[in-house]
């Protein structure tokens, strides 16, 4: 991934403590308890979607692998909905290079006025600038967890929504050119807007004029084994009620140990621009951890080790089940 991580310097006023598959969930109805059955999320299927992306090679803008992966994602989504758009754009990278980006948008239940937005970035980092071997610092990474994992979950959700139309409208946006920020040895602490180029473009030029959604959910680095998802700082600042909604759902499914009801760091990710520019309250489900060296992201972040063997089907399953319940409870 990504950009800069800010320590929490302010005490965030929150809404109180927080706190899939074909699983029956009991609900009260008068004197009776009725069981609501949710569509089954398949973690193995989501993993296969992750692997297919990684198999193309590093998905860096302006490369053949990027073009081929974009075509595959578009064709995959077209199997699940006729409402698929590819938003082509050009963006200037930190080094002056013009990037040919592609945001891919798929819509479900298009007639519904009330909508929610689900997103992830699909490009991968051009630099393994945190790799322990300095010789790798200018090599591109697979981005199996950092990028592909979130997309894998969303493609599986698209398959589910094709079979079970949700009552609310859902738009999936796969952002390009999120991770083309300057390498670590050229970072100055300024210029964060060199990151999230695809989400910045979409936020200023949504796929539908005047597009609005009740809220949005961004997925990033959700495939790591034994994930920990604290409440990311910008999510709490811009969309505290959405954070509470999602973390409460995770708790009801028994995933409270992963969806930690505690504030995390501020991450300048795609959701930041959707909040700031498009004015859609959007949260970020992102794995954050505290390493002995003070790091926040998982050990293979921005390294050559961010490969498919680091992705855990169980983590994809958990995140997918949470989103299924969020979607089908609307």
- What's 144's DSSP letter? I
Q: Is residue 276's pLDDT more than 90?
A: yes
Intra-chain end-to-end CA distance of the chain, in Å: 31
Q: What is the pLDDT of residue 187?
A: 84
CA-closest candidate to residue 271, choices 179, 164, 196, 172: 196
Q: Once rounded to an integer, what is the mean pLDDT over residues 167-185?
A: 96
Q: What is the pLDDT of residue 26?
A: 44
Confirm if 215 and 161 have CB atoms less than 8 A apart. no
Q: Is residue 5's pLDDT more than 50?
A: no
Q: Is residue 3's pLDDT more than 80?
A: no
Taking the C-alpha atoms of residue 228 and residue 205, their distance in angstroms, rounded to an integer, is 33
Confirm if 243 and 302 have CB atoms less than 8 A apart. no
Q: Once rounded to an integer, what is the mean pLDDT over residues 299-306?
A: 96
Calculate what percentage of the chain has a pLDDT beyond 90: 82
Three-state DSSP at 34 gives strand
As given in the structure block, the two tokens for residue 60 are: 């860096």
Q: Is residue 11's pLDDT more than 80?
A: no
Q: How far is CA 255 from the centre of its chain?
A: 18
DSSP string, 173-221: EEE-SSS-PPPGGG--S--GGGS-HHHHHHHHS-SSTT---SEEEEEES
Instruction: Tell me the whole-structure pTM to 2 decimals.
Output: 0.90
Q: What is the pLDDT of residue 192?
A: 75
Q: Which residues pair with 36 in a beta bridge?
A: 25
CA-closest candidate to residue 221, choices 285, 289, 145: 145
- How many C-beta atoms surround the C-beta of residue 82 within 10 A? 10
Q: Which residues pair with 24 in a beta bridge?
A: 37
Three-state DSSP at 117 gives strand
Confirm if 38 and 326 have CB atoms less than 8 A apart. no
Ranking 128-137, 213-222, 284-293 by mean pLDDT, the lowest is 284-293
As given in the structure block, the two tokens for residue 79 are: 């199997």
How confident is the prediction for the chain on average, in pLDDT? 90
Q: The domain 5-328 is classified under which CATH number: 3.40.630.10, 2.60.120.680, 3.40.50.150, 3.50.50.60? A: 3.40.630.10
At 291, the pLDDT band (50, 70, 90 cuts) reads low
CA distance to 14, 63, 173, 220, per residue, from 213 (Å): 22, 33, 12, 20
Q: Which residues pair with 231 in a beta bridge?
A: 263
Q: What is the pLDDT of residue 295?
A: 58
Taking the C-alpha atoms of residue 228 and residue 264, their distance in angstroms, rounded to an integer, is 10
Taking the C-alpha atoms of residue 102 and residue 230, their distance in angstroms, rounded to an integer, is 30
Residue found by looking up tokens 């930690």 in the block: 260
Q: Where in the chain are the domains?
A: 5-328
Q: Is residue 145's pLDDT more than 50?
A: yes
């Amino acid at each position: 991934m990504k950009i800069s991580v800010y320590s929490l310097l302010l005490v965030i006023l929150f809404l109180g403590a927080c706190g899939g598959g074909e699983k029956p969930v009991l609900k009260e109805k008068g004197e009776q308890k009725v069981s609501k059955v949710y569509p089954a999320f398949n973690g193995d299927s989501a993993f296969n979607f992750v692997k297919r992306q990684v198999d193309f090679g590093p998905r860096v803008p302006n490369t053949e692998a990027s073009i081929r992966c974009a075509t595959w994602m578009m064709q995959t989504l077209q199997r699940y909905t006729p409402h698929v758009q590819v938003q082509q754009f050009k963006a200037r990278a930190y080094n002056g290079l013009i990037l040919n980006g592609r945001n891919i948008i798929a819509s479900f239940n298009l007639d519904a006025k009330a909508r929610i937005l689900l997103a992830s970035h699909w490009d991968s980092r051009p630099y393994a600038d945190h790799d322990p071997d300095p010789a790798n610092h200018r090599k591109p990474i697979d981005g199996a967890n950092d990028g592909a994992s979130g997309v894998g979950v969303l493609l599986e959700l698209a398959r589910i929504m094709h079979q079970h139309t949700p009552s609310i409208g859902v738009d999936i946006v796969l952002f390009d050119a999120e991770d083309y920020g300057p390498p670590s040895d050229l970072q100055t602490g300024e210029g964060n807007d060199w990151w999230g180029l695809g989400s910045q473009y979409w936020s200023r030029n949504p796929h539908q004029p005047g597009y609005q959604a009740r809220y949005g959910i961004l997925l990033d680095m959700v495939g790591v084994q034994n994930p920990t998802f604290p409440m990311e700082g910008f999510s709490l600042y811009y969309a505290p009620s959405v954070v509470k909604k999602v973390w409460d759902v995770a708790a009801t499914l028994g995933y409270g140990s992963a969806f930690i009801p505690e504030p995390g760091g501020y991450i300048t990710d795609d959701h930041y621009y959707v909040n700031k520019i498009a004015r859609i309250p959007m949260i970020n489900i992102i794995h954050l951890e505290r390493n002995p060296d003070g790091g926040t992201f998982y050990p293979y972040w921005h390294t050559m080790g961010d490969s498919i063997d680091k992705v855990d089907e169980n983590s994809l399953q958990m995140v997918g089940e949470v989103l299924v319940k969020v979607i089908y409870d609307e």
